[in-house]
Chain A
Amino acid sequence: MKNNITLDHGSGGLLTSRLIEQEIVSRFQNPSLNELKDAAVLEHFDQDIVFSTDSFVVDPWKFPGGDIGKLAVCGTVNDICMAGGLPRYLSCSLILEEGFPVADLQTILNSMKESAQQADVSIVTGDTKVIEHQKGHQIWINTAGIGTKIKDLDYKYQEGDAVILSGSMARHGASVFMAREDIQLEGNLTSDCALLIDQARIAFSFSGLRILRDPTRGGVATTCLELIEHSSWGMELDEKKLPIDSDVQTLCDLLGFDPLYLACEGRMLAIIDQHQADALCSALGPQASIIGKITKEHPQKLTLKTKIGATRMLRKLSGQPLPRIC
């Protein structure tokens, strides 16, 4: 194998075959993939199917706590879980920039393999394309996933339903920003990038569970707004109860970012009957907390009860956050 990806790796010829056999099939080993057909043939499902896709363009591809490979598996697996499914199969499409080091690709594929094994999903089909140098950005990945539906989830809220977040917020957004801008701060700020299968399974066992979401782009505030904007309900978050790690808070204070709008990649937001909220929190572990509630007042609006007891509106993220001057 050459040291860097060349246009020949995407030509469909000899180098393409070698890349697929040596780097992909040998790693992801499973009967459907090994057949190397144009499409994977999957066993018949008894249950409804949950189907999702996501593209990953994170820059830089490697960040503290993960890389684009881990993200590409976790992202799609988590989307399936949040829709009430348990993931079974993934596809993996790679778009590589000419000149991308093969060693880096191997690192990324190893991360995908590790996360797929943890999630007990098979990567059964895929594609590889190479684009000319400087017409892409190192590596982009698309994954699609198929799962089987375990739980019916719907926007059928009731007044007082609790909003639960499974862990501290904004770690992924903060750590990727640190890596992207090469911020020379010491510390141990890592992404929260992780699979949410275990948390979802726990949540599925609660009869009062209304809905699940993972607060990725736009952060907790944007996700909460999406959860109510088409309903006839409002939501109130309690600033005192928002779980933010001190390293993330410090970085946000320094740069002028609002952690409510920074992405998580391994956190679950659950809306659940208030009477089952404490039990779900306990089952999810000490990191989980009740951060807000569904309200009859101010339908389709999200408010924040601030630490001084005032109330203000929360809107969707607008524009990219840029660090402030002073």
Chain B
Amino acid sequence: MRFSKPKRPITLMEICGTHTMAIAKSGIKNVLPKEVKLISGPGCPVCVTPSSAIDMILELSKDPHLLICSYGDLLRIPGSQSETLRARPNVRLCLSPMDAIQIAQNNPDKIILFIGVGFETTAPGSAVLIQEARRSQLKNFYFYSLLKRTQPAICALLEKEKTQIDGFLCPGHVAVIIGEKGFEFLPCRYHRPGVISGFEPEDILVSIEALIQMINQEDPKILNTYDRLVQQEGNTIAQAQIEDVFEVEDSLWRGLGTLPDSGYRLKEKYQDFDARQHFHLPGLENKEPENCQCAAILCGEKAPSQCPLFQTVCTPQDPVGPCMVSSEGACAAAYTYEE
């Protein structure tokens, strides 16, 4: 396909880790007009999880009566002492949050701790898990919420002084839940265009072209090229599940610091399942590995190749920072798919 010629150099950010991966895998950067630069944002759930959270979970995992359940990617993130959860015998990989119900029922003598990570995409699944835990009257199940909301992170990036982001490739999966309306703040508040995109290379190419056109015409809007799945209002049932179980709270992001109303915690009516209360977990600290540039990379300020650890000390086999750990992190994508 032919792209419109950009009237000036433009920088576009993709916010979703799956987009980062799809762009790298299909080689899209190599076919874009030279004026268009793509950067990766804070959209990989593992990447934005502070290492102090992993340290805390590692500490908890020393208790042999505890079974810790989470998703594959999370199990590989090193804490501040380079330990990973995967090496621990009492950690179980879940493909669906509902696996945790089965694990809890099959192990009545153990305490099950589910680590909930992700954005609005995984929050409804976590909500259903907690509702189901109540229905099943589980007494050995706790949920540790590291869930995050996308909008506060995008706002934080746009409010940084040196931000040069001209438009956004909006995450299709998040939009399935929160709808087109969930991104209308971009043109309304920040005068930036956004295109909600699917994950096939063709979806992304069409979405980038739409962004170039809107930037050329200085007519920022939210467009939806993923309308086979995303509706204006989003998935209202899923939104209601989130609303039933969670409430927003300030949350610590790797690279962005503490952002107001950017996380989800359990509402009081579900506090019997809240791991923070049961285990008396303290708040998270903002400490990151020395020289690791994940923070700047997550904000789109640096490319992976500008990190002194990239490909030398930090590789997918032996990752230092979260952007290399997650298969959807910007560093892992650059390492695996780019020269």
Contacts and interface: CB of A to CB of B under 8 A. Distances in A.
B241 to A, nearest CB: 16
Contact of B205 (A308, A318, A321, A325): A308
Contact of B75 (A258, A321, A322): A322
A217 to B, nearest CB: 15
A135 interface: no
B268 to A, nearest CB: 27
B25 A306 contact: yes
Contacts of A313: 337-339
A181 interface: yes
A91 B76 CA distance: 38
A310 B45 contact: no
Chain A, interface SS category: loop
B31 A323 contact: no
Interface residues of B, number: 41
Contact of B72 (A183, A307, A312, A322): A322
B76 A325 contact: no
Interface residues of A, number: 23
Interface string B84-95: 000000000101
B217 interface: no
A179 to B, nearest CB: 13
A181 B28 contact: no
Given A313-B338, A325-B118, A326-B173, A319 B28 contact: no
Nearest to B45: A325
Contact of A325 (B21, B28, B117): B117
Q: Which 9 A-B pairs have the closest CB atoms?
A: A310-B27, A322-B72, A312-B27, A318-B316, A323-B72, A310-B30, A325-B71, A306-B27, A306-B26
22 contacts: A181-B95, A183-B95, A255-B95, A256-B21, A256-B327, A306-B27, A308-B26, A309-B31, A311-B27, A313-B337, A318-B317, A319-B76, A319-B316, A321-B327, A322-B76, A322-B93, A323-B95, A325-B73, A325-B118, A325-B122, A326-B118, A326-B173
Interface of B: 17-18, 21, 24-31, 45-46, 71-76, 93, 95, 117-119, 121-122, 173, 201-202, 205, 315-317, 326-328, 335-339
